[in-house]
Amino acid sequence: MNSTSAIKKSAGLSLEIQSRLSEVDRYNAWLFAQFRPYIGNRVLDVGCAIGNITQYLLDREFVCAIDVVEEFTTEIRKRFADKPNLKVALFDIADPNVTSLASEVIDTIVSVNVLEHVQDDSVALDNMNRILVPGGKLLLLVPALQFLYGTMDAADNHYRRYNKRVLMQRVDAAGFTVARMYYMNLVGIAGWILNGKILRTDIVSTSHFSLYNKLVPIIAKLESCIHPPVGLSLVCIATKR
């Protein structure tokens, strides 16, 4: 089964996951804060889902939001119907046809928790390189640490989790120069182990999401002072060579 078929098969669960994530506003804002200083004027949001990160990009000149799941693109069109600077399109980032978006003169690509869904992530990164203008920014956030792979990863069609070495190799091979790469969300590891390894659930409960959302300002403040040695997520800031 290719990456498109796998993601579409679980669209219902994925939509529920994204709906619950839309409620954790502090967490989404914290994720976006990792990228804010690097975002240009013409942005491609890869794997936009229902727009939980897209919403922070809409003050830019132009935003193109793409996803492989039609339910997501339908939802995000309705959610931001009043935004004339937003283009929504149904694309698979691993499909060579996606490189047609190079005509939009994209200077920044944002991809949050997407690359792990793509069977051939090297092809996806190559396509991102082809879309970006020279010197454009690639802003990635991916799930970290393969030993954390559990039922929630499997349910959401994750092929893998990443460490610094693997992600660095993939991004470099695709023609990018990495400026920064670091782990974030150390506390989140405990919750992931509890839900995905011990309880073996498919999705985090709304009560757990709500509790974590309340803790985010404290966690973010601590990690702004000292980056943790490991974390639930891995952030990469890179530039097209």
Contacts of 215 (CB under 8 A, 6+ apart): 187
Q: What is the pLDDT of residue 96?
A: 97
Tokens describing residue 50: 């229902």
Where are the chain's structural domains? 3-240
Other beta carbons within 10 Å of 32: 20
Q: What is the pLDDT of residue 10?
A: 59
Q: What is the pLDDT of residue 4?
A: 52
| Residue-level length of the chain | 241
233-240/132-143 β-pairing: antiparallel
Q: What is the pLDDT of residue 39?
A: 98
CA 145 to chain centre: 16
Q: What is the pTM of this model?
A: 0.92
Indicate the Cα dihedral angle 83, 87, 91, 96, nearest 10°: -150
Query: Across the 241 residues of the chain, what is the mean pLDDT of every consecutive 10-residue run?
Result: 50 79 91 98 97 97 96 96 98 98 98 97 98 98 97 94 98 98 97 94 88 95 95 98 94
Q: Match domain 3-240 to its CATH number in 1.10.150.120, 3.40.50.300, 3.40.50.150, 3.40.50.2300.
A: 3.40.50.150
Tokens describing residue 13: 């669960």
Whether the Cβ atoms of residue 192 and residue 232 lie closer than 8 Å to each other: yes
